[in-house]
Chains A and B, each alone.
Chain A
Amino acid sequence: MRFVSHLDLQRFLMRALNRTCLPIAFSKGFNPHPLLSIAGALAMGHESDYEVFEVRIEGSIDKDTALKTMRDALPPDMPIKDVLFREDNFPSMMSLVKMADYVIMPQSSNAELCKAAESFKAMDSVMGIRKTKSGEREVDVRKLCIDISTDGEKLYARLMLTEQDTLKPDLLIKTLSDIAGIEPPACRYKRLKLLGTDRDGKIKPITEIGV
């Protein structure tokens, strides 16, 4: 699934929803489509353990039926872990996302990168260039990285993920490679959690917020 783009994933999920018995709400207009939204776009080539999408339904359905029909409609490499119900006035899952946890598996230069991560953590500010569709922007990579740790092989990082402040894990690796004075190695990236903050300010997975 990691080579499926965000747009393709949306279309894929809409078709999967059409295959279920869920009472899905559709958009109005010439080409009605299921009201579906994915909490956080995943970069092409990245894997994930925790993705959340929301579907508006009309009427009600019990959790077991919803789980079963969704599981039947999706391939085994996209397992549905849980189904949660939220009222219409509950904030959208997308709006709850503030940060995300990643595990990064470099294919080479692991030791150098892990060492660089230690120095990086001790710094106050490390500037880097964030490339977006609208151009390049200088950002403080250190400030956008909430936490980082390593086991000598893999790196674990908690990075900002809001509309204004986002750090993509490949920019983190680029920054660490600059510190280590090496070419950025090929890496595998896996998202572990999408996180937000609860009313009491506690950081929690978005599916556990407000319940």
Chain B
Amino acid sequence: MLEEFENYRVAHHQEAKDWKSKTGGKVLGTLCCNVPEEIIHAAGMLPVRLLGEHEPTTEADLHLPTNLCPYCKSWFDQVLKGKYDYLDGMVIPNVCNIIKASYGFSKYLFKLSYVHFVDIPQSISPEGVEFFAKNIMDFKKSIEDFSGKPISDKALRHSIDVYNENRTLLDKMYTLRKKYPSVLSGSEAQSVVISSMLMPKEEHNRLLSRLIKDMEKSDKALEKRVSLFVSASILDDTDFFKLIEECGGNVVTDDMPMGSRYFYGLVDSKDEPLHALAERYLTKIACPRKMLPADRLAFSVSRMEGANINGTIIHSMRACDPHLYEYPLLRQEMEKQGLPVLFFRGEETATEREQQKSDIEAFIEMLQDQME
């Protein structure tokens, strides 16, 4: 069961290509949870989250300086190396400076027939929601022009339902693993979430429903490993969580864009669709680039509800300004909650294994002592 998610995740390029040949549909690359994917889905296209790779960014190095988010440099490098040649276009949201700049770079360097910038307000307010709804309408029109077909209200509502179902299922999966961590490891859960950003949603819903049934039926043995909470800026694969597991720990819940921030909060299906999308995507996604500290910290802490956490690991990618500014406040909040904190400033998408391993081992040992 879990292999299906993991196999898809690992072979995501080939899977996307196969989907294209099978359906004749278009694949659009997305960045960040802030892109209203339902619009893409309603047009019959497949949104795929752009991912990095563990290799030197030799092509991107010729166009981008160092001191940048390594994840961004890495996916950029993958595009330059031709790994994403099957993409029909990209959709880029107004989030951080690097992602914003990649809009201009994509038009300048990549040979894509469609690159759209979704302007998202950088502050959360009711007026912001109204403005965002208008931009989502622009986005919808732009996709309609690109596909040559209008997106019906019915199709959009259906896509919202499909996405809401996925969010509900992922939330359920998290509730179960928080309660019974032995049933699903952190890396397995992350594999499920990441594959949701790559797979056709209906397929993912189908597999995930079965997984949850299996989880409910499993024997729910007592968790002996140290239970950890991870708050991270971007971990675009399962390596870091696997490393934690190698060291004898288990991540039972998280606050991160490739995790709970992706699926938290439903789109109001009773509201007008564009407005409902704007409302959910602007107010529910706990992104530090937009959300102010009080709400951000509250969200982070709330992710731990229903779980028995021994310690917190905060992982910020190097040069990730929104998360690095938040770090001192987040750390303070965790310590206020009585949780020991381990902090990593990630150098690159490839794990700095040795140093991280010894730090994590020491941290887990300390937590184990405290458990006894």
Do the two shown chains form a genuine complex with each other? Answer: no
Residues of B within 8 A of A (CB): none
